[in-house]
Amino acid sequence: MIDVDVRLADKSGPIMTNTRKKFVHSRSNIVFMRLFSRYRECKRRWPLPKSLGVHAVALLAFFGGCIPLLGQPTPRQKATFLKEKEQSCESHLATGEKYEFQFRTFRRMRNNTEMYTSAVAYYAPSSGEFLWVPVGGVMTKDEYFRFGNEGKFACAVAAKFFHFLLLQDGQWVAFAAIGSGIRVYHSDLRFQSISSGWGYVAEHPEEMSSFSDGRWVEIVSINKELGNDFFRPESLRFDARPFMYDPLAAVTKVGSNWQLEVEGADKPNKALVYLDGNFKLIKVVRLPAASRPTAR
């Protein structure tokens, strides 16, 4: 018999709040469920006679090889798609090349919580390039059915979701900007069909966890280089109201780098933004009032 020292808590000590209790219970439940899942996996891998009893099974399973399993990651759960939220469209790039794009909503479990994400995917049927971008953020089940369960987009409107959408040198590149923040979505993934691309999304939903975070997006800020005044009209200098606009006027690939023309909130303010092949900022050049940008 092992002696267990059980002592009453000191009543003069700090009292655990209800919020803290819920957190502790929640964490305990997660740990218990993971251990129980490993235990069931051990029983499946190393079946033992029922006569040994449940305690013997547990002990032998752990000391017979299950302890190493506890350090293994929980198997990834595939995302599932909501059939009623599918929408398919077709359009053409500036080059005349035809492409497809689809809106879909999928759900997955994250930290024992059911999460919903709506996304758009772009696909080039002639060469197989595939890009997907979350729209509307990641929501809990309650948030989704309150705020995210909206109607479908008109295809003509959805085709203009990105001001600049390019398929160049074997990859999709889409540019979006609000004020001094520029987002670049890019992908060189290739699949036999757009449905195969969505299958990849189901397996790797964490690769684009939100509209501004993930493997396939780069965030570029040019506020430091151009200053707040470049992105706010003079007429609102002493006005506290927010002001947002899309400053992107042109996008050009020059060699392996990218040249972006941005316009200030007041004309004729303009600047050129240079990004490298990985969409990292190289430099920003403010243009004189009479200058016109040229690719270089």
Query: What pLDDT score was predicted for residue 159?
Result: 76
Query: What pLDDT score was predicted for residue 206?
Result: 87
Choice between 233 and 13, residue whose per-residue pLDDT is larger: 233
Instruction: Report the chain's terminal Cα–Cα distance, integer Å.
Output: 82
In three-state secondary structure terms, 41 is helix
- Each residue's pLDDT tens digit, 209-256: 666 678 899 999 999 999 999 999 999 988 889 999 999 999 999 999
Q: Residue 260 above 50 pLDDT?
A: yes
Query: What are the residue ranges spanned by the domains of the chain?
Result: 18-70, 80-217, 223-287
Which of the 8 DSSP states describes residue 210? B
Nearest to 262 by CA among 252, 249, 275, 251: 249
CA-to-CA distance for 66 and 61, rounded, in angstroms? 6
Highest-pLDDT range among 10-19, 96-105, 130-139, 149-158:
96-105
Model confidence at 97, pLDDT cuts 50, 70, 90, reads: very high
- Each residue's pLDDT tens digit, 28-69: 455 445 555 555 555 555 554 444 444 444 443 444 444 444
Q: Residue 8 above 50 pLDDT?
A: no
Query: What pLDDT score was predicted for residue 262?
Result: 97
The C-alpha R_g of the chain, in whole angstroms, comes to 27
- pTM for the whole structure: 0.70
- Each residue's pLDDT tens digit, 116-173: 998 999 999 999 999 999 887 788 999 988 887 776 777 877 777 888 999 999 999 9
* HSE-CB of 47 using CA atoms within 13 angstroms: 3
CA-to-CA distance for 49 and 27, rounded, in angstroms? 33
Here the contacts of 260-264 (C-beta below 8 Å, separation 24 or greater) are 260/175, 260/182, 261/293, 262/177, 262/222, 262/226, 264/226, 264/230, 264/231
- Each residue's pLDDT tens digit, 198-211: 999 999 998 886 66
Give the percent of the chain with pLDDT over 90.
Answer: 51
Is the sign of the CA dihedral 40, 41, 47, 48 positive or negative? negative
Query: What pLDDT score was predicted for residue 261?
Result: 97
Query: What pLDDT score was predicted for residue 127?
Result: 95
* HSE-CB of 23 using CA atoms within 13 angstroms: 5
Bridge-based pairing state of the strands 171-178 and 164-168: antiparallel
Highest-pLDDT range among 12-26, 63-77, 265-279:
265-279
Choice between 287 and 75, residue whose per-residue pLDDT is larger: 287
